[in-house]
């Protein structure tokens, strides 16, 4: 087959079913099961030009064995499971779905802020176990309104969080090595500061950066020590951006007040992970970008990119990886 667009995912997975349902009539669409033996997968992918990865990954060696591949399309914003420079050396474009993921993740990040500040999980537990409000009120509850929120990384997700927080009357600051246009800063009513200043002045620190060598472990003991003792830490990007042992120590010692994380260093994490059992930490299972709307947006965008590549144009949302 020529001009074949393949979704790489389990055939009975709801996302795979949605991918098939939304596939437009003008592309030659197929599904390849990642659980099949490699030789069988390689044969099925031999004519594939656009490969849409539904949360899974192929090795660079496997990608190199696909002679007709032109575009590796990620359904995610993150790209740490793909050796992007190596794949691009093969002449294959790599694009992600960051703008499509951003609304869902920004919503989840703010939800974590509210859950932590309002101690919603202890409140739910108290309502269920009969202690009613005593469990939640055993420690102070706080409002998000009027607090200083520091956003580390003002990309698609970070900028949407800033936009959403305008309604909470928060003072917004951000740290980002990139030059953000002044018109964007004015529109979001946000001020750029050095990373160290952001840590020192923020009541809430929320991180939205890609995982690479420069961000791995950036939130370590030194970073947590630099934060206010009353501050809360939010991570919805990638677990290894924070040093988990240092985060646990900071929460236990009171160096920071609380945390809300959608990601941890190893996923799924062991049930013995201390973060799961801390009264001042909310953990969700890497679900921030899992809304039905996000999946649909990412699929439709992927098909648009497929059309662009098949007619000889360059795809949108190409990844320019940091090192």
Options 238, 242, 294, 297, the catalytic residue: 238
Active site residue 286: yes
Planar angle of CA 265, 236, 264, nearest 5 degrees? 15
Give residue for tokens 């001009």: 3
Options 267, 277, 292, 293, the catalytic residue: 267
The number of residues in the chain equals 323
Give residue for tokens 């055939």: 11
Instruction: Quote the CA–CA distance of 274 and 244 in Å, as a whole number.
Output: 10
85's tokens: 């420079």
- List CB contacts of 123: < 8 A, sequence separation 6 or more: 133, 135, 136
Instruction: Quote the CA–CA distance of 206 and 150 in Å, as a whole number.
Output: 6
Task: Return the C-alpha torsion angle 265, 268, 274, 275, nearest 10.
Answer: 70
Active site residue 292: no
Options 15, 286, 294, 297, the catalytic residue: 286
Active site residue 267: yes
Sign of CA dihedral 284, 297, 17, 12: negative
Task: Return the C-alpha torsion angle 29, 31, 37, 38, nearest 10.
Answer: 40
Instruction: Quote the CA–CA distance of 254 and 287 in Å, as a whole number.
Output: 27
Q: Considering only CA atoms, which of 185, 187, 189 is closest in space to residue 168?
A: 189
Q: Are 137 and 188 in contact (CB under 8 A)?
A: no
Give the residue numbers marked as catalytic. Answer: 238, 267, 286
């Amino acid at each position: 087959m020529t001009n074949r667009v393949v979704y790489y995912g389990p055939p009975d997975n709801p996302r795979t079913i949605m991918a098939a349902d939304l596939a437009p009539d003008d592309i030659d669409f197929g599904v390849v099961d990642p659980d099949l033996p490699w030789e069988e997968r390689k044969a099925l992918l031999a004519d594939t030009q656009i490969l849409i990865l539904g949360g899974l990954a192929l090795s660079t060696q496997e990608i190199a064995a696909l002679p007709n591949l032109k575009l590796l399309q990620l359904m995610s914003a993150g790209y740490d499971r793909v050796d992007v420079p190596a794949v691009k050396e093969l002449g294959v474009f790599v694009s992600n779905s960051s703008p499509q993921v951003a609304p869902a993740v920004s919503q989840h990040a703010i939800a974590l802020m509210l859950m932590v500040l309002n101690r919603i999980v202890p409140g739910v537990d108290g309502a269920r176990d009969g202690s009613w409000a005593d469990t939640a009120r055993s420690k102070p509850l706080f409002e998000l309104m009027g607090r200083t929120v520091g956003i580390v990384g003002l990309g698609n997700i970070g900028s949407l969080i800033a936009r959403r927080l305008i309604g909470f009357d928060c003072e917004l600051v951000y740290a980002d090595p990139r030059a953000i246009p002044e018109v964007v800063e004015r529109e979001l009513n946000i001020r750029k500061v050095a990373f160290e200043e952001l840590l020192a002045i923020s009541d809430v620190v929320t991180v939205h950066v890609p995982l690479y060598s420069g961000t791995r472990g950036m939130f370590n003991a030194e970073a947590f020590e630099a934060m206010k003792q009353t501050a809360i830490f939010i991570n919805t990007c990638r677990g290894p951006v924070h040093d988990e042992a240092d985060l646990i120590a900071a929460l236990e010692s009171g160096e920071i007040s609380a945390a809300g994380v959608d990601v941890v260093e190893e996923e799924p994490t062991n049930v013995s992970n201390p973060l799961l059992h801390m009264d001042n930490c909310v953990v969700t299972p890497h679900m921030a970008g899992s809304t039905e709307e996000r999946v649909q947006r990412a699929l439709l965008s992927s098909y648009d990119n497929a059309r662009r590549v098949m007619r000889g144009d360059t795809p949108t949302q190409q990844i320019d990886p940091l090192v």
